[in-house]
Amino acid sequence: MSAIEYPPGSRVPEVAAIRARGVKVGYRGAVVWHDATFEVGRGEFVAVIGPNGAGKTTLFRLLLGIQRPMAGSLEVFGAPPRRGSPRIGYVPQRHTIDNDTHVAADVLVHLGVSGTHLGPEFSIGAARRATAEALAAVGASELGSKPLGAMSGGELQRIFLAEAISGRPEMLLLDEPLSNLDMRRTRELVELVHGLVRSRRVTTLLVAHDINPLIECLDRVIYIANGRVANGPPEEVLTSASLSELYGVPVEVLHDSRGNIVIVGGENPHEKGDA
Amino acid sequence: MTAGFSWNIVTDFRDIWNYAFMRQAYEAGTIVAILAGIVGYFVVLRRTAFAAHALGHVGFSGAAAAVVYGVNPVFGLLVFTMGGGVGMALLGRRASTRDIEIGTVLAFMMGLGLIFLSLYKGYATEAYSILFGDIEGVSVSGVYLTLEGAIVVLIVLAVIYRPLLFSSLDEDVAEAKGLPLLALNVVFMLLLAVAISFAVQVVGILLVFALTVTPAATAVRITKRPTYAVMCSVAIAIVAIWAGLFISWWPPYSQYPPSFFIVTISFVIYMLARMGSYLSDRFAHRFAPSVDPAPVPKSSS
């Protein structure tokens, strides 16, 4: 390999997007995972994979500053996570939007722009432009006036994505955006997110159950299981040897003719509940 | 004296407003309509209808206590609903489990109400007017008190409008964006407590829903824009109160309490809106078929 070349004009060396050193996390003394040491570079597209209850959402809560590590150090853009940072856009797993939510979608995206501000909105024009821009970026301009309660799962995910990017964040945390989507909508959403990652160079962590729809776009996989965190490029993490070490039991990674991955033997029967 | 109902609404109103108690009823009713209409929108959005219901009942204990100790019932209402509201907000942090905490606080506060009722040896009319409202009994000082309460609530709402809307619509993202959910919930429950306390003067505890929930529930069926929905909700509450008072003024309806008409009108408008949205849905489906193709069947992989 030759010496690393930086494109002209860029500042070097850049602070990592995420830097974790021996992080231990849990709730009320119960450790969810520990000894997590990893780094995520700026502009990387990262899948967070692992069985239910392994602590994938917990990782997001740490990065959002809602929860603190029990031990170790965690840095986001070179500083400890701070709740309410405008540099992070977040799409949680939703439960509150249902058929009865008769509110136009662009209201939600608009709140993503200026929803935390107090008092009357004086710069409403700028906020409206940012809203329209975010909706356009996810290809949902025509959905802006549709009620949230009348939307399909795929439409909702695009609106949530627009809400998350409306403040022009440098990092996106997407919690299970692909669950409840059929194959076509899954592919559409993955392409959309991938496009945003590349065009805006926004560091993106996406929690998913199934790695296969993502595998071609990923720079990195964070695999959380058995109280531990493995991390690296997909071809390094998603191997029989690496996952067997992570789980502590023999695990096999199989590939089909089209490059799809099947992980056999990894599901730990002791894992339970969503964390 | 009353000249009798004519079809000239203007002279009818002039006629009614010759009476001070009716002027006060219209003034207090209008202020309460504005207050309840706005706060009601957030009640519907946050799905805290049960809290509105519970606070009314908690208020009953407060009013009963105030009557026992010879204080203006509105102060008893305010103290109890605000205390109960803060208790509910602190115990039930998440929307998903809130109902259980509200029910628990409600049960305890109703127990207190029972004690005060048993201490109270006065006339049943006091209790009756708290339960079903006595809008025509609002005094001038009562109108001013209502106005002052409403101004405070509206100022606070104007300040926290966007964060409150954000946390009502999208709790998790609002939290991640740094909004203090607990503080917002406490403040909202206090605003709701004030709105409920004054609405009780108009329609009473048992019918307080008709002003705090029904107009807003109607408004969200009419418009999907929060600002329009708030205005719409206020307009419906005003129409219900004005028309209710108007109808109950004229014989033979003057023998019935105005609360009944207010609640009925509010409900009829709600049913009309439901019917309207049902018809417009059918209409839309017939003439503009969904462009969204049928979802691809989920693969089993």
pLDDT tens per residue, range B102-136: 888 888 888 888 888 888 776 666 777 788 888 88
Of B95, B163, B173, the CB nearest to A163: B173
Kindly tell me if the per-residue pLDDT of B290 is higher than 60: no
Q: Using a CB–CB cutoff of 8 Å, tell me whether B159 touches chain A.
A: yes
Q: Look at the alpha carbons of B280, B285, B287, B293 in this order and tell me if their dihedral is positive or negative.
A: positive
A30 or A99: which leads in pLDDT: A30
Mean pLDDT for B44-64 is: 89
Of A66, A96, A104, the CB nearest to B170: A96
Chain-chain contact of B163 with A115 (C-beta, under 8 angstroms): yes
Helices vs strands, H then E, count in chain A: 7, 11
ipTM, two decimals, is 0.87
pLDDT value at residue A110: 96
Kindly tell me if the per-residue pLDDT of B154 is higher than 80: yes
Kindly tell me if the per-residue pLDDT of A9 is higher than 80: no
Chain-chain contact of A116 with B175 (C-beta, under 8 angstroms): no
Kindly tell me if the per-residue pLDDT of A82 is higher than 80: yes
Fold (CATH) for B9-286: ABC transporter involved in vitamin B12 uptake, BtuC (1.10.3470)
For residue B45, list chain A residues with Cβ-Cβ distance below 8 A: 103
Give the integer Cα–Cα distance in Å for B193 and B195. 6
A-side interface with B, Cβ within 8 Å? 64, 66, 83-86, 88, 90-92, 94-97, 101-104, 107-108, 111-112, 114-121, 145, 147, 152, 163-164, 182-185, 212, 260
Mean pLDDT for A120-148 is: 93
Q: Residue A232: exposed, middle, or buried by beta-carbon count in 10 A (0-12, 13-18, 19+)?
A: middle
Mean pLDDT for all residues in chain B: 87
Is there a contact between B34 and B213 (Cβ–Cβ < 8 Å)?
no
SS3 call for A251: coil
pLDDT value at residue A10: 55
Strand duo A220-225 + A45-49: pairing? parallel
Chain-chain contact of B226 with A96 (C-beta, under 8 angstroms): no
3-state secondary structure B200-266: HHHHCCCCCHHHHCHHHHHHHHHCCCHHHHHHHHHHHHHHHHHHHHHHHHCCCHHHCCHHHHHHHHH
Mean pLDDT for A122-143 is: 94
Kindly tell me if the per-residue pLDDT of A135 is higher than 60: yes
CB atoms within 10 A of CB A265: 14
Is there a contact between A253 and A243 (Cβ–Cβ < 8 Å)?
yes
Q: Which residue of B has its CA nearest to A119?
A: B159
Kindly tell me if the per-residue pLDDT of B95 is higher than 80: no
User: Distance (Å) from the C-alpha of residue B125 to the closest C-alpha of chain A?
Assistant: 40
Mutate to test the interface with B, among A66, A111, A156 (most CBs of B within 10 A): A111
Chain-chain contact of B159 with A118 (C-beta, under 8 angstroms): yes
CA distances from A34 to A17, A239, B205 (A): 20, 22, 54
Q: Residue B270: exposed, middle, or buried by beta-carbon count in 10 A (0-12, 13-18, 19+)?
A: buried
For residue A86, list chain B residues with Cβ-Cβ distance below 8 A: 177
pLDDT value at residue A148: 93
B29 or B291: which leads in pLDDT: B29
Is there a contact between A40 and A203 (Cβ–Cβ < 8 Å)?
yes
pLDDT value at residue B278: 86
Mean pLDDT for all residues in chain A: 88
For residue A84, list chain B residues with Cβ-Cβ distance below 8 A: 176-179
Residue B87 exposure: Cα atoms within 13 Å on the Cβ side? 19
Is there a contact between B205 and B57 (Cβ–Cβ < 8 Å)?
yes
- Please state the pTM of the whole predicted model: 0.88
